[in-house]
Structure 1
Amino acid sequence: MAEQTLTTAPAPGTADREPTVVADDVHITYTVNGARTGKGSATAALGRIFARRATPGARKVHAVKGVSFAAYRGEAIGLIGSNGSGKSTLLKAVAGLLPVNRGSIYTRGQPSLLGVNAALMNDLTGERNVILGGLAMGMTRGEVADRYDDIVDFSGINEKGDFISLPMRTYSSGMGARLRFSIAAAKSHDVLLIDEALSTGDARFRRRSQERIDELRAEAGTVFLVSHSNSTITETCDRALWLEAGTLRMDGPAKEVVAAYEAFTKKG
């Protein structure tokens, strides 16, 4: 996304800080195709492509509806809300992976999205994935080599054996998530977007992750964190955005926003 200047009302305490992400009345809509079963469905689909006909059962989903906010250097911002509230969709749009149908997203620097399904290759060893993942994150081969031992040590996947030399498909979901975060956190980011990637780690790894997030913020980065663990949000983030049914319900101090969200869910 092109870096542009946008005048917005600064959040309290941020008037003298540099914005890294500004969302201005963002709307995101995508199409969900209806499932079809039965023989010949592939042939029928190909026929519809050539006939330029719409897919039966397709429907539009208005996933994000008029969301506006500004994020600043040094902030850790949690995104909370019910399943399907638009959190992951919004992160993908900030990362430039989804188009915005209306409104604008302005970013400074290149946002990096780290999710539970971050693109590491299951048939390659952990070692090869560290190298490829580091290169994908913008590190040089020399930087990857210099940081390789720290990445492996941080992930903790070798604590019970030489797992780094085994294919990723042999890893548990927790091991894979730890390695993904360790690769992403090995360099500084202008904007780091974390989508549920810490939820499968153990308590010790989560503590190390929170410490590393604090370091990234101190290095003038901005961190967005999606998590279904409200305690992780309040322990890691100083600010939270609450999305519900695609709309921004509340933006403020993490503890206050989480408390309001928990009261809402208890009523429902």
Structure 2
Amino acid sequence: MARHGKSDSRVPTVIVDDVHIVYRVHGAGSGKGSATSALSRIISKKRSPSIREVHAVRGISFTAYKGEAVGLIGSNGSGKSTMLAAIAGLLPTERGGIYTNGQPSLLGVNAALMNDLTGDRNVILGCLAMGMSPEEVKSRYQEIVDFSGINEKGDFISLPMRTYSSGMAARLRFSIAAAKTHEVLLIDEALATGDQKFQKRSEARIRELRGEAGTVFLVSHNNNAIRDTCERTIWIEKGELIMDGLTDEVVKEYEKANRA
């Protein structure tokens, strides 16, 4: 396993220390999944016999630093998105610890936007939710809309989000999140949508975020996006860290393994 070694003078932003994450999936046997039976088990301190444990992440450790863009790659179900959610604080660890310098912000393709509200209302509410002031939102609003490309084929920003395609919604979501400088920005497949022009804009914005002393994690099945955006890549497979190093080297080994 290759390790990515750099100068100790850099500032760590995320430390993942021997992390294990376990999902517990409740079976759908007769009555076992009902609220009444769950309450009964809690009172009696008995565990459901139909619980299945899935060890999604197995002893992963790494440190990320300010100014880095780190790619996370692996096959479907490898644990990379689980790792991202754990760094964001959305999943508890079974063992080990995750330590962050700054508040991580998770941007995923399933991040919530209000379908019944218009695109422009979502821009305003999304920016306010990230902690931007009303003045900041007003000054950045047009830039966000232009970046997303939502209005290139009509006045879609004034329409409800439910009228948007999944690609349009994902582009707007990324544009809102990228309007703010994040200490740690976690991106899950957001660059998989949109045309090549939007992907290039997104990659350029990620480089800007890095230059503003942020740390960016990118989960993607698009190896070219990883190559273009990230200097370092972590390969996870079956919940285990397979390789951590320079992007060209790690992606090359990953592609070789998937050709075999």
> What TM-score bracket applies, with the shorter chain setting the length?
over 0.9
Does the aligned pair in 2 maintain the 1:28–1:100 contact within 8 Å? yes
Q: Which amino acid aligns with 1:171?
A: Y
Between the two proteins, what is the percent identity of the paired residues? 66
Query: What is residue 148 of structure 2 aligned with on the other side?
Result: 155
Alignment equivalent of 1:61, drawn from 54, 75, 86: 54
* Separation of aligned partners in 2, 1:134 and 1:24: 32
* Separation of aligned partners in 2, 1:133 and 1:50: 37
* Separation of aligned partners in 2, 1:182 and 1:46: 40
What secondary structure does 1:158 align onto?
helix
Number of residues of Structure 1 aligned to a counterpart in Structure 2: 254
Question: Is 1:225 the counterpart of 2:214 in the alignment?
Answer: no
What's the offset of the Cα at 1:13? 3.1
What's the offset of the Cα at 1:30? 1.4
Question: Is 1:48 the counterpart of 2:37 in the alignment?
Answer: yes
What secondary structure does 1:243 align onto?
strand
Question: Is 1:242 the counterpart of 2:242 in the alignment?
Answer: no
Does the aligned pair in 1 maintain the 2:4–2:246 contact within 8 Å? no
* Pair 99,266 (structure 1): closer, same or farther in 2 beyond 3 Å: same
Gaps of 5+ in 2: none
What's the offset of the Cα at 1:14? 3.0
Structure 1 length normalisation: TM-score? 0.91
Query: What is residue 86 of structure 1 aligned with on the other side?
Result: 79
Does the aligned pair in 2 maintain the 1:14–1:72 contact within 8 Å? no
* Separation of aligned partners in 2, 1:23 and 1:50: 35
* Separation of aligned partners in 1, 2:123 and 2:65: 30
Gaps of 5+ in 1: 1-9
Does the aligned pair in 1 maintain the 2:120–2:158 contact within 8 Å? yes
Map of 1:64-143 to 2, 5 A cutoff? 64-143=57-136
Q: Which amino acid aligns with 2:40?
A: A
Structure 2 length normalisation: TM-score? 0.93
Alignment equivalent of 1:257, drawn from 247, 250, 255: 250
Q: Which amino acid aligns with 1:119?
A: A
RMSD over aligned CA atoms reads: 1.7
What's the offset of the Cα at 1:16? 1.5
